[in-house]
Amino acid sequence: MNNEETTAYLHRSIPLTAAMDVRVLVQEPGRVEILAPLAANANHHGSAFGGALSTLAILSGWVLVQQALDAAGVGAKLMVQRSECDYLEPALADFHAESRLPEAEWPRFLQMLQKRGRARIGISTIIRIGEREVARASGTYAAIKQGTT
């Protein structure tokens, strides 16, 4: 799927993403970047709501791992198992989350998923306004191979 197709899929499948007006900016092997406009995600102080920042980080990591599973031809149910976000400064403009696949861990993750039908992987995400970091997040994503109970 291209960026627009992935954005449309997210809006259909996860209605919160439509309300947040998220847009996939970059999908390339090992890297995903997703934008959220401040206008749709502001709190009463005029900065981004912390939950919106956290949600964007979770979403970015999920899209990254799902994209990598699809590229590997592996059908699996993917879910976030754990998420943590550190807020470095108020986000006062449109913000974007960037997640990168940990290349050293990916082969082990795939091997475990094939062998046991389940696997987990940690993903780090940076949330920026332009080039300035406003938050850092980490999440653990669990995959269950389709056909496995």
Q: How far apart are CA 145 and CA 74, in angstroms?
A: 8
Q: How far apart are CA 94 and CA 131, in angstroms?
A: 12
Please, which pLDDT band fits residue 146 given cuts at 50, 70 and 90? confident
Query: In the prediction, which pLDDT does 110 show?
Result: 96
Query: In the prediction, which pLDDT does 148 show?
Result: 53
- The sign one gets for the Cα dihedral 65, 102, 25, 94 is positive
pLDDT tops 60 at residue 52: yes
CATH numbers and ranges of domains, the chain = 3-145 (3.10.129.10)
Residue 97 in contact with residue 57, Cβ under 8 Å? yes
Give percent of the chain above pLDDT 70.
Answer: 99
Query: In the prediction, which pLDDT does 1 show?
Result: 87
Each residue of 10-27: pLDDT tens digit?
Answer: 999 999 999 999 999 999
